[in-house]
Amino acid sequence: MTSTSLNSWEAVRAELMRRITERVWRPGERIPGEAELADEFGCARATVNRAMRDLAEAGLVERRRRAGTRVRLDPVRKATISIPIIRLEVERRGQAYRHKLLERKLEPPTAVVASRLDLDRATKLLHVTSLHLADSRPLIYEDRWINPAAVSDVLDEPFDKSSPNEWLVRNTPFTHGEIAFSAENARAGESEQLGVEAGSALFIIERTTWTGATPITTARLACAPGYRLLSEI
Amino acid sequence: MTSTSLNSWEAVRAELMRRITERVWRPGERIPGEAELADEFGCARATVNRAMRDLAEAGLVERRRRAGTRVRLDPVRKATISIPIIRLEVERRGQAYRHKLLERKLEPPTAVVASRLDLDRATKLLHVTSLHLADSRPLIYEDRWINPAAVSDVLDEPFDKSSPNEWLVRNTPFTHGEIAFSAENARAGESEQLGVEAGSALFIIERTTWTGATPITTARLACAPGYRLLSEI
DNA sequence: AAGTGGTCTAGACCACTCC
DNA sequence: GAGTGGTCTAGACCACTTA
């Protein structure tokens, strides 16, 4: 029995979710239309729509015009991961943050970096390597290339005070980007900088960002053993 | 100059985003209210609200009742990651998928597993280890514990045809869960099963899911070297 | 061709929070 | 207390598909 009058979209979502998890509506099955549900719940269609959109974004149902809404056969759950400034993440854990600039020079990109940024190998980029420390222990080794043509004033920025990670986030908003997570055995230089044994498993984050069609920066973050990325689903 | 009449919420969002990335509205600064913007754009307030909500979810602005909307000082960008059934992910890459059951027994959980599922160590759980192969090469080693009290019929399921990963997704919808990503050096058993050198860096996915207050399952997926998780931001 | 979800509007009330 | 975002409503039109 459904209590009549579910007037908040969250209540509607909860009821829809109940019917899905309890198999009132089976996987692959078609769900009644928005108008019908709105009528049943005693609310406006927009309210049902809001709830349904949320479930669709979460990957529980599949919606298509004309074809209606179906319970997904293979629920593709989506996890959202926040990507904060490293300093803030460290401080949130109650640790002392420090940043150490290792190297900073203008040089032509490697082939891999050039292709990733879709740039010519001739134009020099700003190459910055640095270390992020938590309570004086190395946490992340950052290897970054920045396109000076896209970031005004970056050539005047010494990166001695704030890391390129933080400086860029604050000074150069991007429109879109790519991020990849993987695992790699520590390379020679990395293990030394991070103070871990050669070959230790490192969590690798690779990020490339753009503003419109202009490449901004690409970075490879090697995280010390123990690093975990968490999310709710 | 703003062209008058931005009537779709995506057009509104694009214009708002432009003003943020081009520093028309600076970080930390307060943005005009929804009513004012709706007036300027010649659309309904709900349309501005829709666009703003999207930017807030993306982490670009911060909204609070009464206090208004501000451009975030530290944009916390959010990446959404899809978590599909492994078989589908392999097939999407055009590879042949195969699943191999390694072991399946009812036994008391380890202390770690018991605490993760918030269960007593006395109650036996179904412990299943298996291997996911792509083109006959080991891709993922799965170590999973299932709470039989929460999953009817699981004790009758041999898992010889479909993997526990797939079977559970199809048969036991969950309401919420946790997921964690990390990197670890391959343990003895893992390196053997995955056919890689001992100590290779593996990408680790740990997942625990619940239905309401009832724990369903917890799993540890060890992914062979080369595994990458991608996302747009 | 027709039915479905996607969106917009204009107006309203409410919840929260800062002053 | 007052101003802001959060949400709901009732109605409308549109875009997309598929029957």
Answer whether B125's CB lies under 8 Å from B105's CB. no
**pLDDT the model gives residue B3:** 40
Tell which residue, A53, A43, A42, has the closest CA to residue B50.
Answer: A53
Tell which residue, A175, A117, A186, has the closest CA to residue A145.
Answer: A117
pTM of the model: 0.91
Closest residue by Cα to the C1' atom of nucleotide C9? B44
Helices (H) and strands (E) in chain B, counts: 7, 11
Our measurement of CA B227 to C1' D1, in angstroms, reads 58
C strand bases under 7 Å from protein CB: 2-12, 15-18
| Average confidence (pLDDT) over A118-126 | 94
**pLDDT the model gives residue A172:** 87
Residues of chain A positioned with their CB less than 8 A from the CB of B77: 82-83, 177
- Strands of B68-71's sheet in order across: B30-31, B68-71, B61-64
Rg of the Cα trace of chain B?
A: 24
pLDDT in tens, chain B (233 residues): 334 456 699 999 999 999 998 899 999 999 999 999 999 999 999 999 999 999 999 999 999 999 999 999 888 889 999 988 999 999 999 999 999 999 999 999 999 999 999 999 999 999 999 999 999 999 999 999 999 999 988 999 999 889 999 999 888 888 889 999 999 999 988 999 999 999 999 999 999 999 989 999 999 999 999 999 999 88
Q: What is the pLDDT of residues B134-155, one digit of tens each?
A: 999 999 999 999 999 999 889 9
Lookup: tokens for B213 = 């207050």
Q: Select the residue from B50, B60, B77, B214 to test the A interface by mutation, using most A Cβ atoms within 10 A.
A: B77
Tell which residue, B69, B73, B83, B85, has the closest CA to residue B132.
Answer: B85
Chain CA centroid to CA A205, Å:
10
Q: What is the pLDDT of residues B31-77, one digit of tens each?
A: 999 999 999 999 999 999 999 999 999 999 999 999 999 999 888 88
| Average confidence (pLDDT) over A196-219 | 95
Tell which residue, B150, B162, B131, has the closest CA to residue B218.
Answer: B150
In whole angstroms, give the CA distance from residue A114 to residue A126: 12
| Average confidence (pLDDT) over A2-25 | 83
* Helix, coil or strand: residue A172: coil
Tell which residue, A72, A62, A136, has the closest CA to residue A99.
Answer: A136
**pLDDT the model gives residue B175:** 87
**pLDDT the model gives residue B7:** 67
Q: Percent of chain A scored above 90 by pLDDT? A: 82
**pLDDT the model gives residue A3:** 41
Please tell me which of the candidates B73, B185, B225 has its beta carbon nearest to residue A200.
Answer: B185
Q: Which residue has the higher pLDDT, B147 or A233?
A: B147
SS (H, E, C) A119-163: CCCCCCEEEEEEEEEECCEEEEEEEEEECCCCCCCHHHCCCCCCC
Lookup: tokens for B137 = 């090469």
Residues 6+ apart with CB under 8 A from A189: none
pLDDT band at A5 (very low <50, low <70, confident <90, very high): low
| Average confidence (pLDDT) over A45-51 | 96
Tell which residue, A88, A6, A93, A85, has the closest CA to residue A41.
Answer: A6
In whole angstroms, give the CA distance from residue B152 to residue B176: 19
Chain CA centroid to CA A100, Å:
25
Examine the pLDDT at A227 and tell me if it is beyond 80. Answer: yes
Tell which residue, A84, A59, A91, A81, has the closest CA to residue A72.
Answer: A59
**pLDDT the model gives residue B57:** 92
DSSP B145: E
Instruction: Tell me the one-letter amino acid at A140.
Output: I
Question: What element of type H or E holds A171?
Answer: helix A164-171
**What count of Cα atoms within 13 Å lies in the side-chain half-sphere of residue A40?**
13
Burial class (CB in 10 A: 0-12, 13-18, 19+), A128: buried
In whole angstroms, give the CA distance from residue B105 to residue B116: 19
Residues of chain A positioned with their CB less than 8 A from the CB of B85: 74, 76
Lookup: tokens for B57 = 């979810």
What are φ and ψ of residue A143, in 5° steps?
A: -125, 110
Cβ pair B232:A173 closer than 8 A: no
| Average confidence (pLDDT) over A62-69 | 95
* In chain B, residues 32 through 91 whose Cβ sits under 7 angstroms from any atom of nucleic acid strand D: 33-35, 45-46, 49, 52-53, 56, 63-69
* Helix, coil or strand: residue B3: coil
